[in-house]
Structure 1
Amino acid sequence: MYLWLFPIVSLLLFLWFYLRDPRRTINGFLFNIFICSAGILSIIAAFESDQPFLKILAIIPIILIAVMLTIGVYALVIVLLLNARILIRKEGRKFSNYLTLLLGIGILLFIILTIIQPIRYLPKEIQILYPGVMFIFLYFLVNLFSFLSAYFLYQFNKSRYNQDFIIVLGSGLIRNQVPPLLANRINKAIEFYHKQEAVTSPPIIILSGGKGSDENLSEAEAMQAYAVDKGIPIEYTIKEDQSTNTYENMLFSKKIMDDLRGSSYNSIFSTNNFHLFRAGMYARLAGLSSHGIGAKTALYYWPNAMIREYIAVVVMNKKRHGIVIGIVLGLSLMGVLIQYLFK
């Protein structure tokens, strides 16, 4: 029974962190610990019970996990490769559209190397590095699942209709026009604007985006024209036309809101659903308590976008990841040196 303290404590920690701020990857890590530990203990309890029905139920997740670890990996590779083909055909041959293809090839190579095990042909001193490399791989695998769980949990945040501002995050223009991806963000903000307007005073929409080197006007100007064309009164829009990335979208918009209302206001931001969690992280870094509302994204675009989001989140925390990698590789190299000196 004492073992149940582990999932209980992990659940309490998860709730404490999540309720304080749902925009952190640690929320996904703690949630996964709770689910895994509670699941394992439930299966053990079912097998130790005298109820045949519970034992049958306990076998089902074991079978599902076994299938996922065998057939599921190969199915994932096929899905990623097919998705890459669809994405490239629909969105063009940009490097950012090859991420699912690269991941599919990477997983396939990992499977092949696991079967061949080329490490056994290397000198024994070098083989000592293998556990360190595998630990780093496991570290990023756990981090990936933590990110995905935190992203999933963040989707359940619902903004109240008491906002003073909605920040619409820019994503680039195409031939000085608002492209569909950006239009979805503005439309989501307009939808929220009308829903709040029906119950109280409407929020001010801040259109945030600067001018790119290949653009004749700022994103904010094009976005404002789009919103006004959709029926939003121009006096309920503000242009923020200096930002060049998501962090600056948040930071410069915060300055506008602070200048207008001081520190007493409610705000949210509008972006695509795949971008919600990372945008929330940038809002936290900028000192905003804002949460997001997400516009839907085409299903074929989602896998590639999520890979890009994860890479961006890793880069955001590169110092912490660099320390972990440095410690592991340092210990591995020390093991190689000791093996070499005392062989």
Structure 2
Amino acid sequence: MLPFAPAIFCFALFLVGVLRDRRRFSNAVFLGFAVVFSLIGWVAEVGSKSPVVGGIAILAILAVLTLGIVVFGVFLIANGVQMLRKEGRSLGNLMSLLTGLLILAVAVLLVVAIVRHTPTLVVIAGTVMALFGYVGFLFLCFVGYAFLYGRLRVRRDADYVVVLGSGLIGGRRVPPLLAGRLERGRAVHERLCARGGRPVLLTSGGQGPDEELPESHAMADYLVERGFPADRIVREDRSRTTEENLRFSRALMEKDNPGYRCVIVTNNYHAFRAALTARRCGVKGQVVGSPTAAYFWPSATIREFAAVFLEHKVINLGICLLFILSGWGLWQAIGLARG
């Protein structure tokens, strides 16, 4: 039992965090630590009974991890090429391709450092691997908990269903991505009504410089044209970002119902980040996601993770800087020892 004590402790913190507020990134980190410490505890348990089997277990984990990273890099490159063909060239659409190339570049650097075994290369490779490991761990925590968050049950009662905007086609038409959010919002609204509620559907989105009308108006028109009752729709038409979507929607909901509860609808790749933003903005509600095309998901998820990573830039960039300074200090120490 003792080898698994850290895993049990981290999992307990995870459970407490979810019960207090499932919209915390710390929940994802505690769950990640629970998994890592479980593996360490398992290896320690096996190794205490048979050192040979324990060594084989460590080698197996390292082999699976290494192969998984390489396969993931190749997959991201293939997905990046598909994104460029289907969605066109933009920085956002290049995320999976660039990440895949970076992963393979790090793998090549590690192999060269092992083969050449020069002190400078070893230090550089070690520093890069530390950075890679830190960011990779957080990414896996983000993806794993985002998957779990999307499957947690939302409240059975809510006063509002808030659908977040995502841009219009040709300045006035709802694109398929946004239509998916609206259809999910309608389904959530119908489910709440079937339970005896009388929720309001709130469309949220302002007017961009290339749009003929606010997104929220086009969204409301889309729903009304398909039979949704117009008197059950409220429009928030000032926002330009997700944070503004949530802040301005919160103001409208609090004005009419200070004790409101809501369900927020966006795309599945965006749900966890939207939940984190909702918590920061003080919005009382959970987030659900609508389906997204499979080829679009990897690049979009990387963008979402990058945004969350930079939202905590002080601690994350501080830790990255600490790794870099440690590598530089080690390189200097090696230089002095050789001199």
Letter of the structure 2 residue corresponding to residue 235 of structure 1 = D
Q: How many positions carry a matched residue from both structures?
A: 336
In the other structure, the counterpart of 1:8 is 8
CA deviation vs aligned residue, 1:157-176 (integer Å, no higher than 9, x gap): 22233110011111111111
Shift in alpha-carbon separation, 1:85–1:222, aligned structure 2, 3 A: same
In the other structure, the counterpart of 1:320 is 315
In the other structure, the counterpart of 2:93 is 97
**Percent of residue pairs identical:** 32
Q: 1:178·1:222 contact (CA, 8 Å) conserved in 2? A: yes
Instruction: State the TM-score, normalized to the length of structure 2.
Output: 0.88
Shift in alpha-carbon separation, 1:61–1:131, aligned structure 2, 3 A: closer
CA deviation vs aligned residue, 1:215-260 (integer Å, no higher than 9, x gap): 1111011011011112221111111011110011010000001100
Q: CA deviation at 1:325?
A: 2.8
Indicate whether 1:273 and 2:268 are aligned. yes
Indicate whether 1:224 and 2:220 are aligned. yes
Aligned-partner SS, 2:196: coil
Q: CA deviation at 1:74?
A: 3.1
Q: 1:26·1:146 contact (CA, 8 Å) conserved in 2? A: no
Aligned-partner SS, 1:117: helix
Residues in 2 aligned to 1:66 and 1:128: alpha-carbon distance in whole angstroms: 20
Indicate whether 1:304 and 2:299 are aligned. yes
Letter of the structure 1 residue corresponding to residue 140 of structure 2 = F
Q: 1:211·1:241 contact (CA, 8 Å) conserved in 2? A: yes
In the other structure, the counterpart of 2:283 is 288
Q: Please tell me the root mean square deviation across aligned C-alpha atoms, in Å.
A: 3.0
Shift in alpha-carbon separation, 1:85–1:341, aligned structure 2, 3 A: closer
Given candidates 72, 81, 84, the residue that maps to 2:77 is: 81
Q: 1:162·1:196 contact (CA, 8 Å) conserved in 2? A: yes
Shift in alpha-carbon separation, 1:41–1:334, aligned structure 2, 3 A: closer
Residues in 2 aligned to 1:322 and 1:74: alpha-carbon distance in whole angstroms: 25
Indicate whether 1:116 and 2:112 are aligned. yes
In the other structure, the counterpart of 2:19 is 19
Given candidates 67, 77, 85, the residue that maps to 1:71 is: 67
- Quick check: 184-193 or 95-104, which moved more? 95-104
Q: 1:8·1:34 contact (CA, 8 Å) conserved in 2? A: yes
Instruction: State the TM-score, normalized to the length of structure 1.
Output: 0.87
Indicate whether 1:214 and 2:210 are aligned. yes
Residues in 2 aligned to 1:19 and 1:286: alpha-carbon distance in whole angstroms: 19
Letter of the structure 1 residue corresponding to residue 15 of structure 2 = L
Letter of the structure 1 residue corresponding to residue 156 of structure 2 = Y
Shift in alpha-carbon separation, 1:12–1:70, aligned structure 2, 3 A: closer
What 5-or-longer segments of structure 1 have no aligned partner?
Answer: none
Q: 1:29·1:145 contact (CA, 8 Å) conserved in 2? A: no
What 5-or-longer segments of structure 2 have no aligned partner?
Answer: none
Q: CA deviation at 1:108?
A: 1.6
